[in-house]
Amino acid sequence: MSLPFVKIAGTGSYLPQRVVSNDDLALGLDTSDEWIYSHTGIRERRIAADNESPLDMAFAASRLALQQAGMEPEELGMIMLSTCTGDYNYLPSSACLLQHRLQAKNAAAFDLLAACSGFVYALDLAGAWILAHQKPVLVVASEMLSRITDWQSRETCILFGDGAAAALLLPSAEEGLVYSCLGADGEKGHLLALGGGCKEPASREPRSPSYVEMQGRALFSVAVRAIEQTIVKILQENQLSLEQIDHIIPHQANLRILEAVAKRLQIPTARLLSNIDKTANTSSASIPILLDELNRTGKLKKNDLLLSVAFGGGLTYGGNLIRWLKD
Ligand code: UT7
């Protein structure tokens, strides 16, 4: 019998062990804990060990999500993996590497690139795929921004951290994935970019290193607008008020972005949940890491209404409305 809805049945996350504080960064850079904390809300970030890869992080998070849902990898119909930092540049995809590592032999697998919005994009796609195929989907976000960060650039390197998280989605009799809205604005793609692609032919000459390049100030105001407008749209389309949302889970880019959004929405900043002080910006992994933290610390009650909201490179933006149906 085909089930009419989709729900989240398990989550998992993984953060590397190594903690790098603002003071650690200030040892080799012209910056300070005071500047970083007051401009971003970040105190520390996790940075992967040299022998860890994004796939290792994705695998650890996926195992936990599967375990929590009580599912075996062979039961998966699809793996969708969001990342800007695949183990390989393009081929093979990280999702296929994960499919092999998990021994999820019945799963199709592909990578999804929507930068920091990758998880909210993937949830929407997973929802549609599950309704069509009635099989479980593993949505994973694994990001090792430390590998594409210029550690000499104080404008960017202070912002990012490494981490991964996963969510296991199933066909359901009750409505868990209620609504998603996604958007993009390619005209502003230059605000956050990573070179080294295929617009030039391959060469035997070594290329200059490609680090993520960001126009921070311009992104900041775009981000505030995108997050505010996405929240308002989700509420309007579902005839809800902010008071009816139990947990707002925004992408963790900068606490000041959340403060500005809260001011526009006339709500306390604390309504926009944040763990950025400890994780920094883990790109598309930031929402599912926070979701897993809330789940594992017992903050989510059955039937709670969750709203996720993200913006990121591309530019991309979007959000999901989720009814929490786990006991
Ligand atoms: O998910 C990824 C998307 N990325 C983002 O969402 C980033 C959004 N933007 C931001 O979070 C903020 O714009 C930053 C945190 C990147 C920068 O904060 P800001 O308040 O916009 O600073 P600013 O770039 O306007 O720089 C102010 C000053 C400059 O010095 P002068 O020119 O005023 O003398 C910078 O050189 O702060 C200086 N500065 C720093 N000083 C100490 C920039 N970075 C640092 C630093 N430590 N790490």
Cβ–ligand 1 distance for 155 under 6 Å, the answer yes
Provide the residue type at 8 as one letter.
I
Whether 14 and 153 map to the same domain: the answer is yes
- Which is nearest to 135 in space by CA: 325, 12, 288, 6? 6
Domains in the chain, number: 2
pLDDT of residue 318: 98
Whether 66 and 140 map to the same domain: the answer is yes
Whether 75 and 203 map to the same domain: the answer is no
SS (H, E, C) 79-135: EEEECCCCCCCCCCCHHHHHHHHHCCCCCEEEEECCHHHHHHHHHHHHHHHHHHHCC
Q: What is the DSSP string of 270-312?
A: GGB---HHHH-B-GGGHHHHHHHHHHHTT---TT-EEEEEEEE
Note the pLDDT tens digit of each residue in 226-276: 999 999 999 999 999 999 999 999 999 999 999 999 999 999 999 999 999
Query: What is the DSSP code (8-state) at residue 160?
Result: B
Note the pLDDT tens digit of each residue in 163-216: 999 999 999 999 999 999 999 999 999 999 998 888 888 888 777 778 999 999
Whether 206 and 306 map to the same domain: the answer is yes
Calculate how far, in angstroms, residue 156's C-alpha sits from the geometric centre of ligand 1: 8
Among 30, 40, 155, name the best residue to mutate to test ligand 1's pocket (greatest count of ligand atoms within 8 A of Cβ): 155
Cβ–ligand 1 distance for 39 under 6 Å, the answer yes
Whether 191 and 129 map to the same domain: the answer is no
Whether 251 and 296 map to the same domain: the answer is yes
Whether 29 and 133 map to the same domain: the answer is yes
Q: Is the pTM of this model over 0.95?
A: yes
Note the pLDDT tens digit of each residue in 38-88: 999 999 999 999 999 999 999 999 999 999 999 999 999 999 999 999 999
Residue-range definition of the domain harbouring residue 308 = 179-323
Whether 215 and 117 map to the same domain: the answer is no
Of the three residues 147, 174, 201, the one that is the final residue of a domain is: 174
- Which is nearest to 253 in space by CA: 264, 245, 242, 261? 261
Q: What is the mean pLDDT of residues 263-290?
A: 98
Whether 95 and 156 map to the same domain: the answer is yes
| Distance in angstroms (rounded) separating the CA atoms of residues 97 and 95 | 5
Calculate how far, in angstroms, residue 326's C-alpha sits from the geometric centre of ligand 1: 40
Which CATH number fits the domain that encloses residue 247?
Answer: 3.40.47.10
Whether 207 and 77 map to the same domain: the answer is no
Q: Give the angle 112-291-246 at the CA atoms, nearest 5°.
A: 125
CB atoms within 10 A of CB 204: 4
Cβ–ligand 1 distance for 310 under 6 Å, the answer no
Whether 220 and 314 map to the same domain: the answer is yes
Whether 17 and 161 map to the same domain: the answer is yes
User: What is the chain's percent helix, strand, coil content, to nearest 5?
Assistant: 40, 25, 35
Which ligand 1 atom lies nearest to the CA of residue 217?
Answer: 13
